[in-house]
Amino acid sequence: MPRVGIIAAGIWCVDTSYKIKNWPEQGKTSMVSKRIDCVGGGPSNVLTNLNYLGFNYPKIGLGCIGVDDNSKIIIQHCKKNKIITSYFSILKKVSTSYTLVMSEMEKERTFFHYSGTNDYLDNKHLPLTKIKNYKPKILYVGYLTFLGKLDLFKKNKETKLVDLLKKSHKLGMINCLDLASYNHKSYAQIISSALKHCDYLFLNEIEAELATGIKLHSKNIFIKKSAEKAIKKLVNLGVKKAVILHTPSWALWASAEGKLIWSKSLKIERKKIKSTVGAGDAFAAASIFGIHEGWVPQKILNKSHAAARSILMTDQSSGNIPHINKL
């Protein structure tokens, strides 16, 4: 029986976004014009987008949540989007992770994050061998450097995540890893530890710089040659299939065999962009769809650009994107 479907493991949280006119001075008040609650984190965003894209295979979520209102929001969201929650780990004494997002008009967003249950994430919460009723083809993990105890190093200088990735490969699964734009003190070391057991790596230009130390911009101009140098460096650390870089203007597919494919992003009027939250996860979801189906890289990139463009025109971090055949 061939393997089909996906396990998405990692951080789960509830994102509450507040749209404000201006950031208040200390001791003063600013009025909220709109509040939006949604479930966030790479696993949720990818699985939700896959559901909208028409991915009619098992979609299994793995991670830690608490026993509180936010955990109920996550479970309800998963049921709505046909995400299997039977293998979630419930931590009774810790609150579910959440993020408060302050979105000031025409300015960068400000985030207040409570990691909560995600801090406790460990291999015992990710029971790959106990998932008896399914034979998933892909393991997606997101986001490295936000993975609680999985980001910790063992005596052999490998992170605990490596144990999960080895187990996944032993079961015959494809490992897809996703990064976060978080300047962790051991960022490059955490990433490099996992890459020998990674088939596909997704990252943006900020994450590429953090992982390699190579600057991809000069005076705010994106330098393609620098990007190629950075991505080749990551491929050479052991990635089995491809490193996939996505930026606002370009995407780069770098195969383990050394082939580079550049693909320009789809144009979108600035006034049509409602939010940039989740665009990278939409890109990754469409890419994973194509990887699962065995598409050629160029087709994968085309569909991924279209998915990212669709999410930019919504105020949600996932969902509300067309079926894959309509992208």
What digits encode the pLDDT tens for the residues 141-197?
999 999 999 999 999 999 999 999 999 999 999 999 999 998 899 999 999 999 999
Residue 145 lies in a domain: yes
Residues 229/260, Cβ–Cβ less than 8 Å: no
| Sign of the torsion angle spanned by Cα atoms 83, 306, 35, 41 | positive
Domain range for 250? 6-326
Residue 76 lies in a domain: yes
How far apart are alpha carbons 152 and 122 in whole angstroms? Answer: 10
Residues 169/38, Cβ–Cβ less than 8 Å: no
Joined tokens for residue 237: 């650390």
Joined tokens for residue 234: 């990551």
Task: Using DSSP, state whether 69 is helix, strand or coil.
Answer: helix
Residue 223 lies in a domain: yes
How far apart are alpha carbons 92 and 189 in whole angstroms? Answer: 32
For 199-255, the pLDDT digits (tens) are 999 999 999 999 999 999 998 899 999 999 999 999 999 999 999 999 999 999 999
> Which CATH number characterizes residue 115's domain?
3.40.1190.20
pTM above 0.75, yes or no: yes
Total structural domains in the chain? 1
Task: Using DSSP, state whether 66 is helix, strand or coil.
Answer: coil
Residue 95 lies in a domain: yes
Residue 103 lies in a domain: yes
Residues 208/227, Cβ–Cβ less than 8 Å: yes
Q: How far is CA 91 from CA 75, 97, 148, 208, in A?
A: 14, 11, 14, 34
Residue 1 lies in a domain: no
Joined tokens for residue 57: 């295979």
